[in-house]
Amino acid sequence: MAFCQLAHGQDALARTRLKESGDIWVGQKSTLIVELLAPGYFDGAAAFDLPKVPGVLIFPPVGSPVVSTETIGDAAYTVQRHELMVFAQRPGTIVIPSSEVRINFKRQPLDHDSIPQTVKTQEVSFKAVLPPGAEAGQALVSSDDLDVIETWQPVPGSKAKTGDAFVRTISWSASDIPGMAFPPFVAGSIPGLGIYPADPLVDDRSERGELQGKRVDKVTYVCKTGGHFVIPPFTVHWWDPAAKEMKHKDFEARVFDVPMPPEPPVPWTAKLHRGWRAYGMLTIGILGGAVLLALLAYRFRDALVRFLARLRPRHLAPLNPPSVVPVRK
């Protein structure tokens, strides 16, 4: 495929093309080649302002650019060839718009000051095709050597108890795919379990121009209470372009029970607090009742006096009074 037309009207130039021709699978790596041409000598690394395209992952160049020289007309240029990885995550026509690249160069090697320049790449488009058997909107990787491994430390089992923690590790690796291009693992939520995902660990390595991408996802599950728990199964889907078929790998669900913890004993301080609280409430009740009775007695004092007067004992005349004995003289 021929390069796009050179950008004119500036000292430094940029030209852009897509390395692959024809349709590209969703999830498959495509390579965007950007050549930067400086009328002299580059001074420092180029800085790419990557465009943001919905449903597309664009990664900056990895490693050092390929450097060459080229003469255009009467002008001599130093050329840097950069390769950017592009992953379409949706089917349809993908348009990568023009973007800016900031460079510094010197017209002569011994020049004291470098010249800052901003160049623009050209717009590039291609068509992304959904592999047969894949579902639209499904996070997909296209690789013929994808490897996914799941491990548990420890494995959830029958001896689990409240407070236990289980670490789930999912390791991804594939050629020509950077670690951040793998589908993110979604742990979800499970009532009664604390779920704490860690930031993914990316360990991409490039050797002789070949990229080996690796990413490790870790999720910690903590038993916060007792109950019956089911950590759902996990399935990885990917497209194998060499075999031209959809593949998948299943990881089983983890089912376990956690006994309900016994009620914690009440500390003596709490018991003492409860006793003083009960004593205080009783004292307040007695004092309140006494005050209420006193108020009622004062309010109805006249009626109370009359009522109490009725209760006083009466002294009646005896029924058989003693006879009077005359006194002898």
User: Is the predicted pLDDT of residue 323 greater than 70, yes or no?
Assistant: no
Contacts of 319 (CB under 8 A, 6+ apart): none
Between 49 and 211, the more confident residue is: 49
Task: Read off φ and ψ for residue 9, nearest 5 degrees.
Answer: 80, 20
Burial of 88 (0-12, 13-18, 19+ CB in 10 A): buried
The mean per-residue pLDDT over the stretch 33-50 comes to 94
Residue 8, pLDDT score: 40
Instruction: Provide the pLDDT confidence category of residue 271 given band limits of 50, 70 and 90.
Output: low
List the beta bridge partners of residue 168.
Answer: 152, 219
The whole-chain average pLDDT of the chain stands at 86
Q: What is the pLDDT of residues 243-253, one digit of tens each?
A: 999 999 999 99
If you search the block for the tokens 């495509």, which residue do you land on?
Answer: 30
On whether the CB atoms of residues 209 and 31 are closer than 8 A, the answer is: no
Most confident of the following: 161-170, 203-212, 319-328: 161-170
CA distance 80 to 101: 12
Residues 231 and 156 sit within 8 Å (Cβ to Cβ) = yes
pTM: 0.69
Bridge-based pairing of strands 193-197 and 227-231 is unpaired
Confidence of residue 320 (pLDDT cuts 50, 70, 90): low
pLDDT tens profile 122-180: 999 999 999 998 887 778 899 999 999 999 999 998 788 999 999 999 999 999 899 99
Q: In the predicted model, what is the mean pLDDT of residues 83-98?
A: 94
Q: Count CB neighbours of 89 within 10 A.
A: 20
Mean pLDDT of 57-62: 90
Query: Residue 5's pLDDT is what?
Result: 41
At 316, the pLDDT band (50, 70, 90 cuts) reads low
Number of Cα atoms under 13 Å in the Cβ half of residue 164: 18
Kindly tell me the number of DSSP H helices and DSSP E strands found in the chain.
Answer: 2, 23
Q: Region 32-54: what's the mean pLDDT?
A: 94
Q: Report pLDDT for 3.
A: 44
Q: How confident is the model at residue 319 (pLDDT cuts 50, 70, 90)?
A: low
Q: How large is the average pLDDT for residues 289-302?
A: 75
The residue whose two tokens read 């004292």 is 283
Give yes or no for residue 1 having a pLDDT over 50.
no
Residues 278-301, mean pLDDT to the nearest whole number: 76
DSSP assignments along 292-310, one per residue: HHHHHHHHTHHHHHHHHHH
Residue 184, pLDDT score: 87
Gap between the Cα atoms of 29 and 123, Å rounded = 18
